[in-house]
């Protein structure tokens, strides 16, 4: 049996082995949507966005460049710290203090000729939908659940059913120690990150009495600086977790607190990790998960093989604790997802709760994880976090019970959070008997 024809790229010597994969159909390829002759040319003009240039992002940039993508943009607002060098291999000692996005882009461009990487040293929230509309694929290597939720909601809100190009596949990778995952999200078609939020349980809260009186761990000292010292001294109008000056203030306060109780281990990196809830990373896990993500990007771009998300499995879990183990499954789309669903999500509450208790519960609920929620019910505003004038006006409601506020079982409430400005979370109240 003769082998399928290989259509070489413009640099056959460099891409000969890649072309054998991307320009020939696989055993499960749909011949109606595969054209090997056009693949190499299409991949050279396709725009890819990588979000994050840290441990996972460095691997993603390298892999995507070596997979034949020629036009890549990367967003990261962080600067290089000396603690990054053990796993973020695109950086060197001389790069400490420089922009991660800019250094990573120049490094890969130098190694892989013909690849153009455009760096953006800013937040993802600094761009509007027009910016994201120019890309054909978005690949995330983030260490923040909040950032994942924001880009997920943004890409879903961009979808126009009458405009095919408005569907932007999102490939998300994440690692935690020796575990990781790669998933593919087709906005409004498959389950989204918000559908899967309960798989990322919020970290357990430390009692305030422990923070205030008997800290036992370096993390307790950081939380004390974050929760108590900041509120008491208010060194800046509002805490910006991405501002090095703010993190430095918290670090110095936490260090002094630790020395007072003879606790060691408080570092700038730990402070940043606790405050931003950064997930720890291991180089080997980053490498495996980034390879899985880039494999999906190549399959989506070339159609040379079936990819996660269509028709069935959309989530790959990896574990390297004892051996190398992967498991792929389909995470179902939820009809009551606040981002991509149509129905309100059931919310079981005690009618004797005060509104304050309800507001505080949203941070601990795995399916919500909202830190600064504002609540509305039909025909009335229950509590607004901002602007200050409206917060002061609705603050008395916090001490009233749900019954006193006239809320009833089966009633829908709308919840918003400044971190997700485009999302209205809809809940239907279910009262405990």
**Closest alpha carbon to 375 in 357, 348, 355:** 355
Helix ranges (H only) for 95-243 are 100-111, 129-133, 145-157, 208-213, 218-224, 230-233
Please identify which of the residues 58, 209, 221, 294 carries the catalytic annotation.
Answer: 209
Q: 103 is written with which tokens?
A: 């250094």
- Annotation says 122 is catalytic: no
What are the angstrom distances between the C-alpha of 245 and each of 104, 144, 239, 252? 24, 20, 10, 11
In whole angstroms, give the CA distance from residue 175 to residue 284: 10
**The two three-digit tokens of residue 203, written as one number:** 């970290």
CA distances from 278 to 49, 264, 351 (A): 22, 20, 36
Q: How far is the C-alpha of 172 from the C-alpha of 161, rounded, in Å?
A: 23
| Burial category of 162 from C-beta neighbours within 10 Å (exposed 0-12, middle 13-18, buried 19 and up) | exposed
DSSP state of 89: T
Q: Which residues are catalytic?
A: 209
């Amino acid at each position: 049996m003769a082998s399928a024809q290989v259509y070489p790229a413009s640099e056959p010597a460099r891409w000969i082995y890649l072309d054998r994969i991307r320009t020939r159909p696989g055993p499960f390829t749909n011949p109606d949507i595969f054209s090997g002759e056009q693949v190499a040319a299409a991949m050279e003009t396709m725009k890819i966005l990588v979000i994050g240039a840290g441990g996972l992002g460095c691997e993603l940039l390298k892999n995507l460049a070596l997979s034949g993508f020629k036009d890549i943009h990367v967003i990261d607002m962080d600067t290089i710290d000396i603690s990054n060098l053990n796993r973020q291999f695109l950086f060197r000692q001389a790069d400490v203090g420089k922009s991660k996005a800019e250094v990573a882009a120049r490094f890969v461009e130098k190694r892989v000729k013909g690849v153009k990487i455009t760096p953006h040293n800013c937040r993802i929230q600094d761009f509007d939908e027009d910016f994201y509309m120019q890309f054909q694929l978005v690949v995330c290597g983030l260490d923040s659940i909040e950032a994942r939720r924001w880009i997920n909601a943004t890409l879903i809100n961009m979808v126009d059913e009458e405009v095919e190009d408005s569907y932007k596949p999102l490939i998300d990778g994440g690692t935690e120690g020796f575990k990781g995952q790669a998933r593919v999200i087709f906005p409004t078609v498959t389950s989204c990150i918000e559908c899967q939020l309960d798989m990322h349980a919020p970290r357990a809260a430390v009692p305030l009495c422990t923070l205030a009186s008997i800290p036992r761990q370096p993390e307790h000292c950081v939380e004390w600086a974050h929760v108590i010292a900041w509120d008491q001294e208010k060194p800046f109008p509002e805490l910006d977790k991405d501002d090095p000056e703010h993190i430095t203030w918290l670090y110095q306060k936490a260090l002094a607190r630790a020395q007072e109780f003879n606790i060691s281990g408080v570092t700038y990196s730990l402070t940043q990790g606790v405050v931003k809830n950064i997930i720890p990373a291991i180089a080997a896990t980053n490498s495996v998960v980034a390879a899985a993500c880039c494999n999906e990007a190549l399959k989506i771009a070339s159609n040379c093989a079936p990819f996660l998300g269509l028709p069935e499995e959309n989530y790959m879990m990896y574990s390297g604790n004892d051996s190398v183990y992967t498991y792929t499954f389909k995470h179902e789309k939820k009809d009551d997802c606040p981002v991509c669903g149509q129905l309100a999500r059931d919310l079981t509450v005690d009618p004797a709760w005060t509104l304050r208790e309800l507001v505080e519960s949203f941070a601990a609920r795995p399916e919500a994880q909202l830190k600064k929620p504002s609540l509305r019910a039909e025909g009335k505003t229950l509590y607004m976090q901002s602007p200050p004038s409206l917060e002061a006006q609705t603050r008395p409601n916090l001490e009233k019970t749900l019954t006193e506020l006239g809320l009833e079982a089966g009633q829908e409430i709308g919840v918003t959070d400044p971190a997700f400005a485009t999302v209205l979370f809809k809940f239907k109240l279910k009262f405990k008997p």
